[in-house]
Amino acid sequence: MTTSFSTDEVRKIARLSSLELTDKETEIFAEQFSGILDYFELLKTADIPESATEADESHLRGVREDKMEESPVAPEQFSAYLENGFFKVPRVIDQGN
Digit-coded pLDDT (tens) for 12-63: 999 999 999 999 999 999 999 999 999 999 988 988 777 666 677 776 777 7
The model's pTM? 0.49
Select the more confidently predicted residue: 43 or 89.
Answer: 43
Q: Give Cα 42 distance to the centre of its chain.
A: 20
pLDDT at position 1: 55
Select the more confidently predicted residue: 54 or 68.
Answer: 68
HEC secondary structure over 1-67: CCCCCCHHHHHHHHHHCCCCCCHHHHHHHHHHHHHHHHHHHHHHCCCCCHHHHCCCCHHHCCCCCCC
CATH code for the part of the protein at 1-46: 1.10.20.60
